[in-house]
Amino acid sequence: MRKIIIDTDTGSDDAVALIMCLREPSVDIVALTTVSGNVPVEQATLNCLMSAEIAVGKDKVPPVYVGADRPLIRDRLHARNVHGNDGMSDCGLIHPSVKPVEGVCACDAIIDLVKKYPDVIEIAVIGPVTNLALAMMKDPETMKHLKCIWTMGTCGFGKGNTTPVSEFNVYADAEAYKVMMDFGVHVYVGGYDLCTGAAAWFDEDTRRLMDSGKEAARYAVMCNEALARFCLAIGGQRRIDLPDAVSLSPMLWNDVIVKAVPCVSHVCTEHNETYGQVIFYDGGMLAGMGPGFENSYYGKKEPNCTVIAEINNAMYKRRLEELLTK
């Protein structure tokens, strides 16, 4: 069975992704690690513990390790305006009975698990990738034996949600994202562009989940109420876009992938206007690759990532609902 670590800055969309992955029987979630992002790491840890407890019961929660409380270089950035002060819509849902592991930080836990299961461990990073970057910098020899990386990050082939060209998870710590993308372990990217259309939950979806009476389904809807209000305010339509669940669905179910594109990536960290932008080049011929452009950066690189460009939204939503209501 595949062994996966999930690294999360648990806000409301992370919570849905955690329940989805923890309830999927074909994978073994060997650990959860938390990081500063949507909310401070202390709150992200409480939210992670509660979501895992809702998913599988307190006796089956995987080990949870607390990670970085700030980006590698920049100041902390949170998204409380989107997810609420507690990251879960401030409706009193967070009261876990389980505790995180004491005395082992997320960075070391990741390294230890890759050492224990070389070339087997996959990691899904659904927040800023600070913990993973720290592990790569601390023990690169071990981390080269990470099997692969799945990330909810970047705009994909669309536009940003934090600046016109950047997505929150990258923008919160682009230096860490650059470490990850340049490290040499293949990265499967699910961008923000996947989640804003038919993959989102609309009123009929949330009504059906609430009517199921199932605890996990109701929790998933209730914790996303602030996100639904935010989407209404900025887009004129009440919906719940779930970037983390959408982006991890190809990790769980290969057959939901409609289009995946091998790409060369470049993470921008130098200029304020483009900070956090991730440029993807799909290998096609460009004008700047003809005579006189022999030193083109992109034309001389092998793909370091695969960008998931399209998924079967109906299949993903059906499977997610089945897991939430089982």
Note the pLDDT tens digit of each residue in 180-203: 999 999 999 999 999 988 999 999
Four-CA torsion 13, 18, 23, 29, nearest 10 degrees? 160
How much is the pLDDT for 283?
82
Residue 317: pLDDT over 90:
yes
pLDDT digits (tens, 9 = 90+) for 10-21: 999 999 999 999
How much is the pLDDT for 290?
65
Residue 301: pLDDT over 80:
no
As a whole number of Å, the end-to-end CA separation of the chain is 21
Neighbouring-strand partners of residue 140: none
Q: Containing H/E element for 28?
A: strand 27-34
Average of pLDDT values for 68-90?
Answer: 95
Neighbouring-strand partners of residue 2: 27
| pLDDT band with cut points at 50, 70 and 90 for residue 98 | very high
Do β-strands 27-34 and 122-125 pair in parallel, antiparallel, or remain unpaired? unpaired
Are the CB atoms for 145 and 27 separated by under 8 Å?
no
Are the CB atoms for 124 and 7 separated by under 8 Å?
yes
| pLDDT band with cut points at 50, 70 and 90 for residue 235 | confident
Average of pLDDT values for 100-110?
Answer: 98
Are the CB atoms for 42 and 16 separated by under 8 Å?
no
How much is the pLDDT for 165?
96
Question: Residue 28: what are its φ and ψ, rounded to 5°?
Answer: -115, 110
How much is the pLDDT for 300?
62
User: 3-class DSSP state for residue 298?
Assistant: helix
- Provide the CATH number for the domain around residue 63: 3.90.245.10
Are the CB atoms for 191 and 199 separated by under 8 Å?
no
219/240 Cα distance (integer angstroms): 14
Count up the domains in the chain and report the number. Answer: 1
Does the CA dihedral 108-110-111-112 come out positive or negative?
positive
pLDDT digits (tens, 9 = 90+) for 213-223: 999 999 999 99
Do β-strands 187-190 and 2-8 pair in parallel, antiparallel, or remain unpaired? unpaired
- Residue at 258: amino acid letter: V
How much is the pLDDT for 50?
98
How much is the pLDDT for 295?
56
| pLDDT band with cut points at 50, 70 and 90 for residue 297 | low
Query: Whole domain around residue 180: which residue ranges?
Result: 2-325
Are the CB atoms for 321 and 240 separated by under 8 Å?
no
How much is the pLDDT for 302?
86
The percent of residues above 70 in pLDDT, for the chain, comes to 96
Q: Containing H/E element for 306?
A: strand 305-311
Q: Containing H/E element for 225?
A: helix 225-235
Residue 226: pLDDT over 70:
yes
Average of pLDDT values for 234-252?
Answer: 93
Least confident range from 28-32, 135-139, 300-304: namely 300-304
Report the mean per-residue pLDDT for the chain.
95
The DSSP line for 110-163 is: HHHHHHHSTTT-EEEE-S--HHHHHHHHH-HHHHTT--EEEEE-S-TTS--SSB
Residue 7: pLDDT over 90:
yes
User: 3-class DSSP state for residue 98?
Assistant: coil
Six-digit token pair at 62?
């995987």
Average of pLDDT values for 159-163?
Answer: 94
Q: Which residues are catalytic?
A: 9
Neighbouring-strand partners of residue 323: none
Four-CA torsion 112, 106, 226, 191, nearest 10 degrees? -60
Does the CA dihedral 50-175-168-4 come out positive or negative?
negative
How much is the pLDDT for 136?
98
DSSP classification of residue 291: T
158/167 Cα distance (integer angstroms): 10
